[in-house]
Chain A
Amino acid sequence: MSEAREIKLDRMRYTKNTTSSRLALLAIVFDVLFFISIYKSNVSTWYYNILMGASIIYNLVFLLAAFLASESVKNYRAGYSWLMIILGVIQIARIWIYPMTAHAALVNNEPVMGDAQFIRCVIYLVLSAACLFAGAVVNTNKSRALSRHISSLEAGKAA
């Protein structure tokens, strides 16, 4: 391993994993944009009202969980990569729950969600999920590398 690579690894002992942390925060931003976008839906039946209500409640859960993941991956906690992946998978799955259902539905011959709004919502959810997946991958790689580096340092000390 080159000296520069070795130092870069050693730096991780004292610096935060800001890449993963910022990606998780960016995922929150995209989710908030999605959150704002769904308000424009032409909701006039209880079914879509309930769907939107559930979506809002889940958004709050998502914000908390994603922020928790952001703070944890900052300290290279490998387990939180799984939380980010799960949140990412749910963000993708949500496309089929609210935007897709609402886009296909008509209320009084009016679409619950228009084409432009639908595309915007899907893009925001996909981007949010992509950020979470990327953050999880970066965190997994970095935390493994750091863990190996610390082990080798401890082995060196013991020897």
Chain B
Amino acid sequence: MAELSLQHIDKIYDNNVQAVFDFNLDVKDGELIVLVGPSGCGKSTTLRMVAGLEDISRGKLLLDGRDITQAPAKDRDMAMVFQNYALYAHMTIYENMAFSLTLRKEDPNVIHKKVLAAAEILGLTTQLNKKPNQLSGGQRQRVAMGRSIVRNPKVFLFDEPLSNLDAKLRGATRREILLLHKRLSATMLYVTHDQTEALTLADRIVCMSMGHVQQVGTPLELYDKPNNLFVASFIGLPPMNFFDVTVEDGRLCGQGFEAPLTAQEQDTLANYLHKTIVLGVRPEDISEGGTLRVQVSTNENLGMNTLVHGHLGEGSRVSAKLRGWASYADGDVLMAKFDRKHFFDKETTNAIRGKGD
């Protein structure tokens, strides 16, 4: 049982730079929360505050209802996995995994049982007598995870653990982390700047920018119902297309293009008639066979999809992700339609939602 509660947490450094603003989050027992955002958004700082590696300037941190805001890192019963593994090069894998328990002077037989159990979970049983430099990056990261598992902590903290791995290994290790989470049912906080990791791993995602929480929700909520322009642009690959458009009667007028509105969309935009808003359309929500003229500039075949880049009307750049293999040449015209639209207030950048949304 490990419930974590971050209440109104601020981080202000000695030079008065504020890295985190009023961070609030309740993490349920066994939940995997992913903090995602661009570099410098405060996600790692937040994780380090939870771990006790950074002081909390303001606010409260509760673990199972107990205030641990001022508790030293060693008393928080949390284990952290770092990007650079932080393994001892002169020790074997067994010794690395047993190290924290040896420091606590636990019974060697108990340590042995725990290390073997963790090695079994992570598929490291045959590697225990090796040194870290004899293992691949993925295996080293598994050792780092094993070192956390043997401690049986209340909360696991991961600080960009896959960033040092190549793309193939990253995918494999990501699946292992997911399996590990299912197997241990442990509370986990995971920091990444990679939205694919966030979407595939998380029970809930916390999307951050400039030290502020932009949205907290399930991966589907963040993808499907982004709160604002930042979340809409950050989540999704390739990123969402944005167009400045004016809301007219039954249609949206952009730079050199017009898109029809459904009755429900008209209802949503009722307060924005004759005003300029931001229209967001995901590349995968653009399909062939409409009235919108896209002047194609590049065509990228990805196998099961084709990414078509071009200009809509008189210059708005647009990317479309079409199903299957398409072969558009530079200068070709793609007649397209928007299957799904997102609307954002131009002033506040917040999403414009209807009654049903």
Taken together as a complex, chains A and B put the C-alpha atoms of A8 and B107 apart, in Å, by: 11
Q: Is the CB of B94 within 8 A of A15?
A: yes
Taken together as a complex, chains A and B put the C-alpha atoms of A114 and B119 apart, in Å, by: 61
Task: Give the residues in chain A near B129, CB-CB below 8 Å.
Answer: 13-14
Taken together as a complex, chains A and B put the C-alpha atoms of A31 and B39 apart, in Å, by: 60
Question: A148 at the A/B interface (Cβ < 8 Å)?
Answer: no
Question: A4 at the A/B interface (Cβ < 8 Å)?
Answer: yes
Q: For residue A8, which residue of chain B has the nearest CB?
A: B109
Task: Give the residues in chain A near B113, CB-CB below 8 Å.
Answer: 7
16 contacts between A and B (CB under 8 A): A4-B109, A7-B109, A7-B112, A8-B108, A10-B112, A11-B109, A11-B112, A13-B128, A13-B129, A14-B92, A14-B95, A14-B112, A14-B115, A14-B129, A15-B94, A15-B95
Taken together as a complex, chains A and B put the C-alpha atoms of A8 and B92 apart, in Å, by: 18
Supplied contacts A8-B109, A13-B128, A14-B128, 7 more A-B pairs, CB within 8 Å: A8-B108, A10-B112, A11-B108, A11-B112, A14-B92, A14-B94, A15-B95
B34-87 with Cβ < 8 A to chain A: none
Number of chain B interface residues as a range? 10 to 19
Taken together as a complex, chains A and B put the C-alpha atoms of A14 and B95 apart, in Å, by: 8
**Contact mask A1-42 → B, CB, 8 Å, 1/0?**
000100110110111000000000000000000000000000
Q: For residue A3, which residue of chain B has the nearest CB?
A: B109
**Contact mask B83-120 → A, CB, 8 Å, 1/0?**
00000000010110000000000001100110100000
By CB atoms of chain B within 10 A, which of A7, A10, A14, A15 has the most? A14
Taken together as a complex, chains A and B put the C-alpha atoms of A4 and B109 apart, in Å, by: 7
Task: Give the residues in chain B near A4, CB-CB below 8 Å.
Answer: 109
Interface on A for B, CB 8 Å cutoff?
Answer: 4, 7-8, 10-11, 13-15
Taken together as a complex, chains A and B put the C-alpha atoms of A11 and B128 apart, in Å, by: 11
- B interface, over-half SS: helix
Task: Give the residues in chain A near B95, CB-CB below 8 Å.
Answer: 14-15
By CB atoms of chain A within 10 A, which of B92, B94, B112 has the most? B112
Taken together as a complex, chains A and B put the C-alpha atoms of A4 and B108 apart, in Å, by: 10
Task: Give the residues in chain A near B112, CB-CB below 8 Å.
Answer: 7, 10-11, 14
Taken together as a complex, chains A and B put the C-alpha atoms of A4 and B113 apart, in Å, by: 11
- Distance between B146 CB and nearest chain A CB, rounded to angstroms: 13
Taken together as a complex, chains A and B put the C-alpha atoms of A13 and B95 apart, in Å, by: 12
Q: For residue A4, which residue of chain B has the nearest CB?
A: B109
Shortest 9 CB-CB contacts between residues of A and residues of B: A14-B94, A7-B109, A11-B112, A14-B128, A7-B112, A4-B109, A14-B129, A11-B108, A8-B109
Q: For residue B119, which residue of chain A has the nearest CB?
A: A14
- Distance between A30 CB and nearest chain B CB, rounded to angstroms: 27
Taken together as a complex, chains A and B put the C-alpha atoms of A11 and B95 apart, in Å, by: 11
- Distance between B90 CB and nearest chain A CB, rounded to angstroms: 12
- Distance between B98 CB and nearest chain A CB, rounded to angstroms: 8
Task: Give the residues in chain A near B115, CB-CB below 8 Å.
Answer: 14
By CB atoms of chain A within 10 A, which of B94, B108, B109 has the most? B109
Q: For residue A7, which residue of chain B has the nearest CB?
A: B109
Task: Give the residues in chain A near B128, CB-CB below 8 Å.
Answer: 13-14
Task: Give the residues in chain B near A15, CB-CB below 8 Å.
Answer: 94-95
- Distance between A9 CB and nearest chain B CB, rounded to angstroms: 10
Task: Give the residues in chain B near A13, CB-CB below 8 Å.
Answer: 128-129
Taken together as a complex, chains A and B put the C-alpha atoms of A8 and B109 apart, in Å, by: 6
Taken together as a complex, chains A and B put the C-alpha atoms of A8 and B95 apart, in Å, by: 15
Q: For residue B92, which residue of chain A has the nearest CB?
A: A14
Taken together as a complex, chains A and B put the C-alpha atoms of A13 and B119 apart, in Å, by: 14
- Distance between B282 CB and nearest chain A CB, rounded to angstroms: 51
Task: Give the residues in chain A near B108, CB-CB below 8 Å.
Answer: 8, 11
Task: Give the residues in chain B near A11, CB-CB below 8 Å.
Answer: 108-109, 112
Task: Give the residues in chain B near A14, CB-CB below 8 Å.
Answer: 92, 94-95, 112, 115, 128-129
Taken together as a complex, chains A and B put the C-alpha atoms of A52 and B113 apart, in Å, by: 54
Taken together as a complex, chains A and B put the C-alpha atoms of A4 and B110 apart, in Å, by: 9
Q: For residue B93, which residue of chain A has the nearest CB?
A: A14
Task: Give the residues in chain A near B92, CB-CB below 8 Å.
Answer: 14
Taken together as a complex, chains A and B put the C-alpha atoms of A4 and B95 apart, in Å, by: 20
- Distance between B124 CB and nearest chain A CB, rounded to angstroms: 11
- Distance between B115 CB and nearest chain A CB, rounded to angstroms: 8
- Distance between A75 CB and nearest chain B CB, rounded to angstroms: 10
- Distance between A145 CB and nearest chain B CB, rounded to angstroms: 15
- Distance between B45 CB and nearest chain A CB, rounded to angstroms: 38
Q: For residue A15, which residue of chain B has the nearest CB?
A: B94
